Amino acid sequence: MDMERINSNYSDEIQESVKNVLGTANYILGSEVSRFEQEFASYCGVKHGVGVGNGLEAIELMLRASGLGPGDEVLVPAHTFFATWLAVLNTGAVPVAVDVDLNSGSISISDAAHSVTQKTRAILVVHLYGNPADMESINHFADRHRLLVFEDAAQAHGASLNGRKVGSWGAAASFSFYPTKNLGALGDGGCVTTDSDDLNDHVRELRNYGSPRKYEHTRLGKNSRLDEVQAAILRKKLQRLDSENAMRRELAERYSERLAGIEEIEITKPLPGTEAVWHIFPIRVHRRGELQEALNSDGIGTLVHYPIPCHLQEAVSHLGYRPGQFPSAEAWAKQELSLPIYPNLDVTEVDYVCDRIKRWCRSKARR
């Protein structure tokens, strides 16, 4: 991913934003943050947005504000970025692994049904790779089991399902503005979106030392605030998010067309009715390491998201999971390869990547 190519498109706007904030001499929780919160909430189709320090803390604070903590269990996909799990652990609750659907990489509802216990309070869904999970079915499942629904939308700004944006489907949702995200700052940042007035107030207090009013502390909060400079930059970038997501969609369609029908390669197909935003273009391939090396020697950078499934991470060995328990998550971890995708990547570059993949497949078939 060429971050310089991405941000050079915004060079003038970024400089103007920083200059404006400098002029206000108000660097923390000023008007840029509150305007961004309103604009991002309205973009997602919800009442409130609360700017926080990063995506990890956005998850942690929305869960804590909803009353989750020690003694509670939260259903989480086994295949996601580890922050999803870490945030649950940081609240004192226990993440309970659920396998993912092999085709979409999203949490499997049939598997989730087997993991519900007396202690289960919530399901934390991840719109992995910018591909919306099946929120209608998840909400029905959650209603049946009386669970709260939360969305980790760190990779899916602007994605939608049946015309409704991610970030608006559950009790609350979390976003990350890490620089490489579809909506990325020039540093860390995050946001919680919700329709609930209570949750909004509660997260606002938690992000600011548990303080509803200056020097009055009613909760054990943190310092986790989106800062003015990042908010000012994000406001500019939000204006072009839809057009940049459209460019990603075009590139993803090109990849899907060009790689269709190749036996060695599995492509992710978003659910009908969804508009994915392709934060990442994942393929699944056996002998991933060999393909990655071949592409690398042709000057094509690829990454693996993510090589170790969460339930097998050393940090959670105390939870007692073993290899083989979540076969689809483990297959993703073994086989996933992320091909280059970002706005302004040229379609000829996508064609080049596809040609090189096909060449590698042909050379494997001959052996």
Binding site for ligand PLP (CB under 6 A): 54-56, 80-81, 83-84, 126, 152, 154-155, 176, 178, 188, 190
Structure tokens at 337: 């390869």
User: Could you tell me how many residues make up the chain?
Assistant: 367
Q: How far, in Å, CA of 249 to CA of 252, rounded?
A: 5
Q: How far, in Å, CA of 308 to CA of 349, rounded?
A: 29
Within 10 angstroms of residue 296's Cβ, the number of other Cβ atoms is 11
CB of 214 vs ligand PLP, minimal distance in Å: 27
What's the DSSP call for residue 356?
H
Q: How far, in Å, CA of 206 to CA of 221, rounded?
A: 4
Closer to ligand PLP at the Cβ: 188 or 266?
Answer: 188
CB of 282 vs ligand PLP, minimal distance in Å: 13
CB of 155 vs ligand PLP, minimal distance in Å: 5
Closer to ligand PLP at the Cβ: 106 or 292?
Answer: 106
Structure tokens at 50: 């609360």
Q: How far, in Å, CA of 125 to CA of 263, rounded?
A: 30
Half-sphere exposure of 229 toward its Cβ, with a 13 Å CA cutoff?
Answer: 11
> C-alpha angle 201/204/208, rounded to 5°?
140
CB of 224 vs ligand PLP, minimal distance in Å: 10
CB of 254 vs ligand PLP, minimal distance in Å: 24
Q: What is the CA radius of gyration of the chain?
A: 21
Q: Which residue is nearest to ligand PLP (CB)?
A: 55
CB of 321 vs ligand PLP, minimal distance in Å: 19
CB of 36 vs ligand PLP, minimal distance in Å: 16
Closer to ligand PLP at the Cβ: 326 or 360?
Answer: 326
Which among 349, 157, 163, 168 has a CA at the least distance from the CA of 244?
Answer: 157
Long-range contacts of the stretch 109-114 (C-beta < 8 A, 24+) = 109/134, 109/137, 109/138, 109/141, 111/326, 112/75, 112/141, 113/141, 113/145
Closer to ligand PLP at the Cβ: 94 or 191?
Answer: 191
Within 10 angstroms of residue 326's Cβ, the number of other Cβ atoms is 25
Which among 356, 15, 45 has a CA at the least distance from the CA of 23?
Answer: 15
Closer to ligand PLP at the Cβ: 178 or 360?
Answer: 178
Closer to ligand PLP at the Cβ: 109 or 183?
Answer: 183
Closer to ligand PLP at the Cβ: 128 or 350?
Answer: 128
